[in-house]
């Protein structure tokens, strides 16, 4: 149903306003139902890793299975993340590092960082931000795929 943008007009009757209000409410209810049927598509997650952590799991290890996720990431000590498991192709994860304990390890098989091979890690500064998209992941077949960096914003001090 589409709403008529020309009504109410300046020449209409006040008694018509209730009808316009009901029509607008009915249209909003249709939109609300359509949006609700989509389910959640994005979330914000606070994730605290253990010292020595080397991987993060999607679905059961602190990250959601939703398509878009912003992850506020900390660790109890040095954590060099070399793999993110359980991802689905097309998922987007944006990591905001809230302390200096977390780094992502460059390994094109699991985490493809956009940097020279001589530079092994990214992170290690509170405020660093990095975004990854999953390529070829399919949890139903046990294929993790790999996470390709799409952008980063290092913290400048």
Domain chopping of the chain, boundaries: 1-39, 42-153
Structure confidence at residue 149 (pLDDT):
97
- The number of angstroms, rounded, from the C-alpha of 129 to the middle of its chain's C-alpha atoms is 13
Region of poorest pLDDT, from 8-12, 25-29, 47-51, 60-64: 8-12
Structure confidence at residue 6 (pLDDT):
79
Distance CA 63, CA 111 (A): 16
- 86 pLDDT tier (thresholds 50, 70, 90): very high
Q: Which fold has domain 42-153?
A: Jelly Rolls (2.60.120)
Structure confidence at residue 150 (pLDDT):
97
pLDDT of 52 > 70? The answer is yes
- 24 pLDDT tier (thresholds 50, 70, 90): confident
- 17 pLDDT tier (thresholds 50, 70, 90): confident
As a whole number, the mean pLDDT across the chain is 90
pLDDT of 62 > 80? The answer is yes
Model pLDDT for residues 99-126, shown as the tens digit of each residue: 999 999 999 999 999 999 899 999 989 9
């Amino acid at each position: 149903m589409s709403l008529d943008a020309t009504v109410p007009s300046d020449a209409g009757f006040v008694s018509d306003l209730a009808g316009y209000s009901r029509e607008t409410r009915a249209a909003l209810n249709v939109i609300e139902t359509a949006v609700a049927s989509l389910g959640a598509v994005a979330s914000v997650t606070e994730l605290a890793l253990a010292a020595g952590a080397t991987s993060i799991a999607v679905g059961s290890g602190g990250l959601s299975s939703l398509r878009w996720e912003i992850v506020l990431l900390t660790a109890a000590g040095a954590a060099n993340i070399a793999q993110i498991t359980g991802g689905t192709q097309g998922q987007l994860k944006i990591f905001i590092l809230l302390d200096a304990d977390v780094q992502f390890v460059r390994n094109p098989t699991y985490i493809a960082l956009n940097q020279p091979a001589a530079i092994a890690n990214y992170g290690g500064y509170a405020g660093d931000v990095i975004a990854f998209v999953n390529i070829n992941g399919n949890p139903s077949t046990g294929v993790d795929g790999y996470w390709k960096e799409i952008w980063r914003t290092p913290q400048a001090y």
